[in-house]
Every structure is written in C-alpha cells, then in structure tokens.
Amino acid sequence: MTTLAAAAARAKTRLGSLTATVATVIIAAVWTIPTFGLLLSSFRPEAQIKSTGWWTFFTDPRLTLDNYTQVLSGDSAGLGSIFVNSVVIAVPAVIMPILLAVLAAYAFAWIRFPGRDLLFLAVFAVQIVPVQVALIPLLKLFVSLHVAGTFWTLWIAHTTFALPLAIYLIHNFIAKLPAELIEAARVDGATHAAIIWRIVIPLSMPGIAAFGVFQFLWVWNDLLVSLAFAGGAPQIAPLTVRLAQLAGTNGTQWQLLSAGAFIAIAVPLVVFIALQRYFVRGLLTGSSKS
C-alpha cells in the first residue's frame, strides 16, 4: 500500500509540473484551433471562404447563416434528413451491443459452464480480426436474407463488430462485483434476469457508459461500414457517406463542406464533453485491480 501511495504521489507531482502544464496547453491548442477554424469557416460567406483563410475573420468579421440553410434544406446538400439517418443508425447500434454484452458478460462472470474460459478467450481474440474481413460475407448474408438496403444491415453490422470489445470491457466490471451480493440474491430466490436488472446493470453503469460513449463516437463517425452496407442510398445513408459524396461532387463549394462537417462533428463533440467523466471513470475502473 505504501508503494502504491508513493507511486500516486510521484505521478501527481509530475502531472502538476510546469512541463506537463505546457504540454497540455500545446496539445489542447493543436486539437482546438482547427475545430475553431472550421466553425468560423462554416459561418463565413462563400466569397470569403474561397479567397481568404479563416483567420482573416478577425480583420474582416462577416458572418452568414446561408451555408447552414443551404446544407440542411438545399438540393445540393440536403443534410437535414441525412442527419436523422445518423441518429436512427447510432442509437440502436449503441443499445443493441450493450444489451447483448451485459448478458454475455454476466454469463462469463457468474455462470459456470463447460468451455467458459476458452470461449471467453476466443471472444477476446476476435478483437484483433480486421473489420474488412467480415464485410463481404456479411453483405452476402444480408442479400440472401433480403434485408439489404435497410437500417437492419447497419444495426447488425455495428453490433457484430462491437460485441467483442463490449463483452470484454463490461465483463471487467461485472466480474468484480462482490460475490456475496450475487449469492445473497440467489439465496433470496432472484432469477438471473432479476440479478442482471436490479444488481448488475446499476453497479456496472460506469463500464456500460464508457462503452456507450466509445460506441456512439465510432458509429457516428464511421464511413467504411456505412459505405459497404448503405452505399449511397439517401434513405439510409448517414452523414459521413453524404459528406464524402459532397466532397467529391461539390469539391469547390467549401462553404457547404465546412458547414456540413461541423454539423457532423457537433453531436459527438457534445456527447463526449457531456459524458467524458463517465468515459474516463469507466475505463480507469475497468482496468484497475481490486
């Protein structure tokens, strides 16, 4: 315990040093300045965007909402309905793997069955398999099941690719729950479903929230899976696909690209800022030794 306290004290001293502070400020500036420039560009008139850099705003401050109006409702971009598609894709693609992972993680942690450890090792090993390997087999399966071209293809694909990490991360929390608590619930006659709903999920919420944030950011920003299973179909294509098309077909309309790009990053930015404490707490708790 003394060694752990000493290590924590040394880490606190190093992180509080002037060098660490300067490094933090530099990293924050590197990440923030381009985003701030994109925000300014999205509000600048078309003529200014094409002729000058975003930093000239401070000498000639002119702003307009025409870019967002055209992007959200115009025929050239029309991201309004596409934005709804991204929400429709992201929400179930976060909820579905969480529900399945909680059930699987509980089984691996508290139910003894033959081959449990070997199966859990296989689930962990699947994480190293590239997503690209499964794209064509999954696409053929969806075509044979006549669900291609629907939201189900994206929901199932994102759920499939997320499950190994979800099971591993949430298992770290569920396995550390007090055994006395689980045994007491069983003695009182609680079923597995009752234990999961009333004990496991509330106590494992940091890990669930951490994975939920991670999964939402990945699904929202995904392009590869969306291109493979949604293609360019406007009825199910998310923002990332439409922005890629916008960059290719309207490459000189920087005002539309900047406004559309900022709309695409605004939601995950708000989600991460609002839930970052759960994200960090969940990752740190799940990785620590009890």
The percentage of residues in the chain with a pLDDT greater than 90, rounded to a whole number, is 20
Confidence band (pLDDT; 50, 70, 90) for 9? low
How far is CA 26 from its chain centroid? 25
Q: How far apart are CA 158 and CA 160, in angstroms?
A: 5
Q: Tell me, what's the pLDDT at 119?
A: 92
Read off the pLDDT of residues 22-76 as tens digits, 9 standing for 90 and up. 887 888 888 888 888 888 888 888 888 888 888 888 888 888 888 888 887 755 5
For residue 50, the model assigns a pLDDT of: 80
Q: Is pLDDT at 290 greater than 50 in this prediction? A: no
Q: What is the mean pLDDT of the chain?
A: 82
pLDDT digit string (tens) for 11-23?
555 555 677 778 8
- Residue 60 DSSP class: S
9, 281, 168, 227 alpha-carbon torsion, rounded to 10°? -120
The model's pTM is 0.80
Instruction: Tell me how far apart the alpha carbons of residues 167 and 184 are, in angstroms, rounded to a whole number.
Output: 25
| Helix extents (H) in the chain | 2-15, 18-43, 46-51, 66-73, 79-110, 116-125, 132-144, 151-174, 179-187, 192-195, 201-203, 205-221, 224-229, 239-249, 254-287
The neighbour count for residue 193, using CB atoms within 10 Å, is 10
pLDDT in tens, 231-241: 767 788 888 88
Tell me: the pLDDT tens digits for 187-232? 988 889 999 999 999 888 888 888 898 899 999 999 889 888 887 6
Residue pLDDT, tens place only, 96-129: 999 999 999 999 999 988 988 899 989 888 888 8
Structure tokens at 269: 């930015």
